[in-house]
Amino acid sequence: MPNVFDHEKLHVYQASLEFIVWLDNIQERIPKRISVYGQLDRASTSIPLNIAEGNGKFTQKDRCRFFDIARGSAFECAAALNVLSVKRILEDHEIKSGKAILLKIVSMIVGLIKSNSTERVCESLTRYGCDYDDD
Distance CA 55, CA 67 (A): 8
The whole-angstrom separation of Cα 97 and Cα 103 is 10
Question: Which CATH architecture group holds 6-128?
Answer: Up-down Bundle (1.20)
Question: Which residues, other chains included, contact 80 with Cβ-Cβ below 8 Å and sequence gap of 6+?
Answer: 36, 39, 40, 43
pLDDT per residue as tens, the chain (135 positions): 677 899 999 999 999 999 999 999 999 989 999 999 999 999 999 999 999 999 999 999 999 999 999 999 999 999 999 999 999 999 999 999 999 999 999 999 999 999 887 665 555 555 555 554 444
Q: Where are the domains positioned within the chain? A: 6-128
